[in-house]
Amino acid sequence: MAAIDPTTTDPRPAIVICAWDEDESGWDPIEDLSGEPWSPTGARTVAVPSEAPEELASTLSAHLTDQRCRALLLVGRTRSTDGFQLQMRAENRSVDGASRPDGVGPSVARATAPVADIVRALKEAGLAAAATSEAEDDAGSFLLYRVLAGLPDGPDTPAIGLLRAPENEPDAAVQRAVKTAAQAMARHLSPVGRARAY
């Protein structure tokens, strides 16, 4: 899996960005021939590739146990709207929505990302966007719930969000939306402390 370099002294907090659908071409973190991923001001990105939902949930949760990783942005598509959506919550459901796989977890988990700020930033960038409490029966909702439900209790909670693009939105617009959302999240993150950066 993609990982945060354990030897880095970079004080910028890391934002994991993951497009959960292996066929999703709208988010490519590598912009040029340098091979370096795009990063928002004040943070750095870690791109995590798609894999089977159960394995991907474990991979993402493992990233969030690293104290240098302060945010996660899940990226996918929606079939229910013509605009970008920030999903604010996810239910305790299987990938297909047919069952409740976690018998002890809460029925609903709420996103911890700054949803209102992200929606505002998307609109300011000229993109139609809204927040929604409606979950879709897909891997995105499954991952959002699993990651949120697995977070430890405490005041230092990472920012976790899910951005959905319209099904037929061009890749260029998806790229712009992901960057805008990540930048909005980065504005809420503090630099990694010296002990964490080393």
* Parallel/antiparallel/unpaired status of strands 69-78 and 14-19: parallel
Residues of the chain scoring pLDDT < 70: 1-9, 31-35, 96-104, 154-155, 193-198
* Rounded Cα gap, residues 27 and 49, in angstroms: 11
The four Cα atoms 142, 147, 149, 153 give a dihedral, to 10 degrees, of: -170
Class of domain 14-25+36-188: alpha beta
Angle of CA points 101, 138, 111, to nearest 5°: 80
Three-state SS sequence of 81-143: CCCEEEECEEECCCCCCCCCCCCCCCCEEECCCCHHHHHHHHHHCCCCEEEECCCCCCHHHHH
Q: How many CA atoms lie within 13 A of 51 on its CB side?
A: 12
Output the pLDDT for position 126. 97
Output the pLDDT for position 1. 46
Output the pLDDT for position 190. 83
**For the chain, what are the domain ranges?**
14-25+36-188
Output the pLDDT for position 89. 94
Contacts of 151 (CB under 8 A, 6+ apart): 64, 112, 157, 158, 160
Amino acid at 186: A
3-state class (DSSP) for residue 56: helix
Output the pLDDT for position 192. 74
Output the pLDDT for position 198. 27
Output the pLDDT for position 194. 47
Over the stretch 123-137, which tens digit does the pLDDT of each residue have? 999 999 999 999 898
Angle of CA points 74, 152, 59, to nearest 5°: 40
3-state class (DSSP) for residue 159: strand
Q: What is the DSSP letter of 192?
A: P
Helix (H) or strand (E) holding 196: helix 194-197
